[in-house]
Structure 1
Amino acid sequence: MHRQAEKALKEAKAKMAAQVKVLLLGSGDSGKSTILKQMRLIHKVPFSAQETESFRQLVFDNLTRGLKYLLDALPDMGLELPESYTDVDPETGYGSKKGEGGSELDEEGVKGEGIGNDVALVEHAEDLRDGEPFPLRYYGPLSRLWGEEVVRTAWNRGNEAAVPENLHYFFSDLPRLFDPAYVPTEQDIHEMLMVDVGGQKSERRKWIHCFQDVTSILFLVSLSGYDQCLVEDRDANQMQDAMTIWDSICHSQWFKQTSIILFLNKNDLFEKKIKTSDIKSFFPDFDGEPGSALAGRDYFKKRFGRLAQKAGRAKEREIYIHITTATDTELLRVIMAAVEE
């Protein structure tokens, strides 16, 4: 009996030693949830019917909560909604703007009672029940508010208030989402935002010391966060915050022998943003060509690389850096194959 127990224990230890334990870390809004969803797709682990239904409900939540967050941020940007829609249909008296994805669904979905009522409906939006289609009474308010000029101005300045980056994706396709037969596509699932608690500053000290046995760390940073504030602190910069976490990981005694893979994520958003938002405005030591995505990527790769070297452990472990777009399944498949090797 004793020998059998010893044998079983040895086998268990050998099995655990052979396992590759990977820890996924990163600051808030860096794309961790998207990476996890992509890993399931890459490894062909299908989502259950209940998970798909949860995603469908979460898309509606992203629409209503995302727009509410944007509206709540208006005063901090020195903006305010007009008392009535700026583009009014003279025959009906209702706002005629319907955003990029607007269409005449039906009377309930299009007509409204003014901008104040539309805002109130969005601010007090209820969660969907299982199997419940997106209520058509929300279609008109969401479409009209998104089409309002001041709202679009706030969206374009979203970096000032950590506005969800997926709003444009969903609001540009409202008719499809409000179809009673709507089922989230893979791209919808990639784009949706899930509540990310572990990445927020107040949560880090709870988890940073708990993973001393991991084989590798995947550390995610949002490249497009170089000009954005934090959700929980609008005076702090997302990229600077990510560098602070990275520095603490590189210096941590728990990860002294752990290989670290750095994903500079959201490259697609970064390439669009850098054309109009100068890195030098937020990182004065940047001396690359303004508007150059290549120069920007090289700069941040060097910044994170220097922090790793400063930790003084470059000889004890390997650090790899990849440029990623978490919503691009094929790109991530290639990168993850390299990581697994």
Structure 2
Amino acid sequence: MRWSKPATPTTPVTPWPPHPPPGETELERAVRLEEEKEARRKSDVIDREIELERVEQRKHKNCTRVLLLGQAESGKSTMLKNFQLYFAPGAFHAEADAWRAVIHLNLVRSVNFILDLLPGGPSSLLFEASHPRHFSDKPLVDGGYLRHFRMRLSPLRQVELILVQRLSADDPSRAAANVEEAIPWYYGRASEVSIRGGSGWKALLRRKRNATQVGARPDDLDKARQILHACRQDIAELWEHADVQRGLEAEDVVLRDQSGFFLDEALRVASADYEPTPQDILRARLQTIGVEQHTISVERFGQPSHRWLFYDVGGAKGQRASWVPFFDDVDAILFLCPMSAFNEVLLEDRRMNRLLDSFNLWKTICMSRLLKGTTFILLLNKSDILQSKLEAGSYKDGPNDPDHVSEYLKRKFVAMCKHNSARERQLHVHVTCATDAIVVNNLRSSDYI
């Protein structure tokens, strides 16, 4: 016996726009028409968003999508700049004018940090009340000489304000905060300016610069450069002064190991005709809050153009929740661990060792089921700073040899990946210095990115 499928009741289709209800008053009709108009507007907005999403998906269909991960100051943004320099040099050099403002800010903040730190500075006076200072027993710096520097270099406070306001122009509420909320001196480092991801600060600087060139009034960036040029000799003398070096050493401050260090080249960087070199741009430090998206087109010999889509995310503890939405939409994870951070702590959590924090981050990422099919590339970064620390005898638990330390860390990270991954995954490990172009060349020539 053959059974027939029972008929499925059909749902009546409501016409749109709906027919006017019977007995509708003029007021009710006006309200109904306004509601229908608003509904159509919302529907059109949704349709446009869907279409834009489709266009974006088609645009990125042939992209290799790479997510840059790691704690703050692990070298993510530097590595990205290195990719841009190597594969898109034209676009990289076009941004040099914007990066000059960042480099000048890095230099000025280092100078102001020193003047605040040494005896008589605001940070020094604030901290002496509750903590014994190395300086209190035997002054290492001549007070009169420091007063001379503070007077001569006082205009750099204005330069810092100008640069921060310009870089934070898309978010004026943050400009003043970035100047006032300096990291306390006993953290051993100069404060940073932060830029929101996607703010387009480089394009903004270029637009304002071009608009100024058309008009007659001088640009505030030009004013900042003139002040910096006038102070360049005093900056160099401050940095080279033996008592200043002794004072920094007494406070365990090593500015040379910090990102955005340009004091060794102050005369060149502060000159009126200064143009940033590629190496200067790679060394420049600018903290990003949020997510930056960068597309880099690659032209390979004998092959059609290939594109990489990089997601550069903030690495501070409070920003790591923003990583997860990208986990299910990337082809590769580029994880950077700063090997030189074995004797450092997080700025946002002084109880957490930075190397231990990298271990914890790595374990969490390896355990993520969203990344089960994703290629992992581990960069044991800052090998140059690691070597300088080891040469100074900073590593107490074993041989002060870079190869020994990097090999130990490599075994540690590989073992953690195998133990915490749900299944065997592709993992590639490189010992790197993010400012070294050979690293990018090795990644480019590989088959996994």
1:32 is matched with which residue: 76, 80, 87? 76
1:145 maps to which residue?
A: 238
2:212 maps to which residue?
A: none
| Greater Cα offset, 144-153 or 188-197 | 144-153
Read off the aligned partner of 1:126 and give its amino acid letter: L
2:279 maps to which residue?
A: 187
1:323 is matched with which residue: 431, 437, 443? 431
| Cα offset, 1:118, TM superposition | 5.2
Note closer, same or farther for the CA distance 1:339–1:153 as it changes in structure 2 (3 Å cut): farther
Q: Percent identity?
A: 25
Q: How does 1:42-53 map to 2 (within 5 A)?
A: 42-47=86-91, 51-53=95-97
Q: Is the 8 A contact 2:346 2:353 kept in 1?
A: yes
CA-based RMSD of the aligned residues comes to 3.5
| Cα offset, 1:130, TM superposition | 3.7
Q: Is the 8 A contact 2:103 2:260 kept in 1?
A: no
Q: Secondary structure at the match of 1:299?
A: helix
Q: How does 1:56-71 map to 2 (within 5 A)?
A: 56-69=100-113, 71=116
Q: Secondary structure at the match of 1:326?
A: coil
| Cα offset, 1:155, TM superposition | 5.2
Measure the CA separation in 1 of the matches of 2:86 and 2:132: 41
1:283 maps to which residue?
A: none
Read off the aligned partner of 1:325 and give its amino acid letter: C
Q: Is the 8 A contact 1:162 1:230 kept in 2?
A: no
Q: Is the 8 A contact 1:161 1:234 kept in 2?
A: no
Query: For 1:131-157, what per-residue CA distance to the aligned partner results, in whole angstroms no more than 9, with x for missing partners?
Result: 452523432443343234464346558
| Cα offset, 1:243, TM superposition | 1.4
Measure the CA separation in 1 of the matches of 2:246 and 2:140: 17
Q: Is the 8 A contact 1:260 1:319 kept in 2?
A: yes
Note closer, same or farther for the CA distance 1:171–1:257 as it changes in structure 2 (3 Å cut): same
2:258 maps to which residue?
A: 165
Measure the CA separation in 1 of the matches of 2:435 and 2:58: 36
Give 5+ residue unaligned stretches, structure 2. 1-52, 118-122, 164-219, 290-313
Q: Is the 8 A contact 2:67 2:333 kept in 1?
A: yes
Note closer, same or farther for the CA distance 1:160–1:201 as it changes in structure 2 (3 Å cut): farther
Measure the CA separation in 2 of the matches of 1:126 and 1:157: 29
Measure the CA separation in 1 of the matches of 2:404 and 2:246: 28
Measure the CA separation in 2 of the matches of 1:311 and 1:32: 24
Q: How does 1:208-219 map to 2 (within 5 A)?
A: 208-219=324-335
Q: How does 1:1-341 map to 2 (within 5 A)?
A: 18-47=62-91, 51-69=95-113, 71-72=116-117, 78-80=133-135, 86=142, 114-117=148-151, 120-122=154-156, 125-128=160-163, 129-132=220-223, 133-135=225-227, 136-149=229-242, 151-153=244-246, 165-166=258-259, 168=261, 170-197=262-289, 198-280=314-396, 288=398, 290-315=399-424, 317-338=425-446, 340=448
| Cα offset, 1:333, TM superposition | 1.6
| Greater Cα offset, 176-185 or 301-310 | 301-310
Q: Give TM-score, length-normalised by structure 2.
A: 0.58
1:105 maps to which residue?
A: none
Note closer, same or farther for the CA distance 1:52–1:244 as it changes in structure 2 (3 Å cut): same
Q: Is the 8 A contact 1:57 1:127 kept in 2?
A: no
Query: For 1:182-232, what per-residue CA distance to the aligned partner results, in whole angstroms no more than 9, with x for missing partners?
Result: 100011001111114310011101223433121110001111111122222
| Cα offset, 1:84, TM superposition | 9.6
| Cα offset, 1:306, TM superposition | 2.1
Q: Is the 8 A contact 1:83 1:116 kept in 2?
A: no
Measure the CA separation in 2 of the matches of 1:258 and 1:275: 37
Note closer, same or farther for the CA distance 1:51–1:329 as it changes in structure 2 (3 Å cut): same
Measure the CA separation in 2 of the matches of 1:332 and 1:77: 47
Q: Is the 8 A contact 1:161 1:228 kept in 2?
A: no
1:102 maps to which residue?
A: none
Measure the CA separation in 1 of the matches of 2:356 and 2:61: 36
Q: Secondary structure at the match of 1:21?
A: strand
Note closer, same or farther for the CA distance 1:300–1:53 as it changes in structure 2 (3 Å cut): same
Q: How many residues align?
A: 302
* More helix as a share of residues: 2
Measure the CA separation in 2 of the matches of 1:176 and 1:233: 36
Give 5+ residue unaligned stretches, structure 1. 1-8, 96-112, 281-285
Q: Give TM-score, length-normalised by structure 1.
A: 0.75
| Cα offset, 1:261, TM superposition | 0.3
Query: For 1:225-273, what per-residue CA distance to the aligned partner results, in whole angstroms no more than 9, with x for missing partners?
Result: 1112222233322211111111111111221221110001111111111
Note closer, same or farther for the CA distance 1:184–1:262 as it changes in structure 2 (3 Å cut): same
